[in-house]
Structure 1
Amino acid sequence: MSQLVEFLPVLVFFLVYQWTDMVTATMALMASMSLFCLMEWMVRRKLTRARLLALVLVLLFGSATVLTRNALFIQWKPTILQWILAVAFLGSHVVGGGKVLIRRLMENNVTLPDAIWIRLNLAWVVFFLLSGAMNLYVAWSFSEEIWVRFKLFGLMGLTIIFALLQGAYMIRHAQENKPGE
């Protein structure tokens, strides 16, 4: 359900934009994100901090877009979220009891050496910084329609590819770290 909550509001935004305009699509994004987060909370009785942050940013920047009828506010949202996540992942090297954020998120699923966790975490920092910058570049350099397509297919696609590459990297190093080998 977690991946659905991330993908469906963006898909709703994209589809509504295809038939209407940015303001209506933004209202649909705000409503669908709120609904899917509410559904997730009802099922799991919790929302991750990242999900809650995404919801707050959608509501904040979405409201600014709707009230001012200016698409730049909602176009900034992905960058702000990505850069906040980059700071959180980077900050986890300093705070967090010696465990970087990616390790705290994934260590129940895989055992890796500390150095690998640090590399994975730093890779996410770089990814979040670059994807935030790419979002701004596309928002400022191309049409609104191109940005909407980039938001769904570009950023979402890059995130999926990056996560798969990280998974492959984890598998490779988890196999090296098996007891008795």
Structure 2
Amino acid sequence: MKQIIDFVPLLLFFIVYKLEPRAIELAGFNLTLGGIFSATAVLIISSLIVYSALFVHQRRLEKSQWLTLGACLLFGGLTLALHSETILKWKAPVLNWLFALAFLISQFIGDRPLIQRMMGHAVELPAHQWARLNVAWVLFFLVCGSANLFVAFVYPAIWVDFKVFGSLGLTLLFMAAQAVFLVRHMQPEQSRD
């Protein structure tokens, strides 16, 4: 459920982006609704609402959620302040590459790779398989970041569609492949204490 909630701001961004731009009056202010800049404002506001609600409910946010929120505020804020959609186009690649870097660094720093820290409670693997799975995540994030960058600047007309559905599709395919690999290593329910 939490992963679905994380996609709410992106879905709202997509919906507002696809609207035909029109002027509206809201609380005495004239605003434009539709297009990249109002969609960016909706992305920032909805991210703040979603992650604030998650923080209140869970009493914390995961590091990845803090990073996602920070990137949204930084890149979205700069996009609005400088009125340049190019800045927002760099958000997904940079965020993916930061995740790749975190997974890569965890191979060499700490007692366990990052993926093992995240999934070790449910899956039992030998150390070399955890390392391979962690490298797979590094490669996945590098590919996702590069694909987002490529589409954003080579095919800008479909960039938002790819950002929402292409990235989601890549993630689901990767997760399915990972599930096939991991299913034989899942620990029985009673031994997960």
Q: Aligned residue for 1:147?
A: 159
Q: Return the TM-score normalized by structure 1.
A: 0.92
Q: Which has the higher contact order (CA 8 A, sep 6+)?
A: 1
Larger Rg: 2
Q: Which digits, 9 at most, give the CA deviation of each residue in 1:92-151, with x for residues without a partner? A: 011112x100000001111112121111100000010111011110011012x4000000
Q: Report what 2:10 is aligned to.
A: 10
Say how many residue pairs are matched.
173
In structure 1, what residue type is equivalent to 2:8? Answer: L
Unpaired runs of at least 5, structure 2 = 20-33, 188-193
Deviations 1:7-30 (A, max 9, x none): 111100000101111000000001
Report the residue type matching 2:5 in the other structure. V
| 1:50 maps to which of 64, 68, 82 | 64
More helix by share: 1
How far does residue 156 in structure 1 lie from its aligned partner after superposition? 1.3
Deviations 1:62-86 (A, max 9, x none): 0111111111111110111100010
2:96 corresponds to 1:111: no
Q: Of 15, 18, 40, which residue of structure 1 is paired with 2:54?
A: 40
Cα distance in 2, alignment partners of residues 2 and 164 from structure 1: 18
Write the distance in 1 (CA, Å) between the matches of 2:132 and 2:185: 12
Equivalent position to 2:139, from 123, 126, 130: 126
Aligned counterpart, 2:107: 93
Q: Which runs of 4+ in 1 moved over 2 A?
A: 172-175
Take 1:49 and 1:70, find their aligned partners in 2: how far apart are those partners? 28
Confirm or deny: 8 A CA contact 2:123 2:185 kept in the other structure. Answer: no
Determine what percentage of the aligned residue pairs are the same residue.
Answer: 40
**Equivalences for residues 47-86 of structure 1 within 5 A:** 47-86=61-100
The unaligned stretches of length 5 or more in structure 1 are 176-181
Q: Distance in 2 between matches of 1:64 and 1:5?
A: 25
Deviation, 1:43, is: 0.7
SS at match of 2:143: helix
Inter-partner Cα distance in structure 2 for 1:137 and 1:69? 22
| Distance in 2 of aligned mates of 1:52 and 1:73 | 20
Alpha-carbon separation, structure 2, partners of 1:28 and 1:54 = 15
Once residues 125 and 78 of structure 2 are traced to their aligned partners in structure 1, the CA distance between those partners, rounded to angstroms, is 43
- Is the partner of 1:111 in helix, strand or coil? coil
Aligned mates of 1:164, 1:45 — CA distance in 2: 30
- CA RMSD for the aligned pairs? 1.2
State whether structure 2 residue 177 is matched by structure 1 residue 165: yes
Tell me if structure 1 keeps the 8 A contact 2:122–2:186: no
Shift of 1:4: 2.2
Q: Matched residues in 2 for 1:113 and 1:155: separation?
A: 30
3-state DSSP class of the match of 1:124? helix
Q: CA deviation at 1:168?
A: 1.4
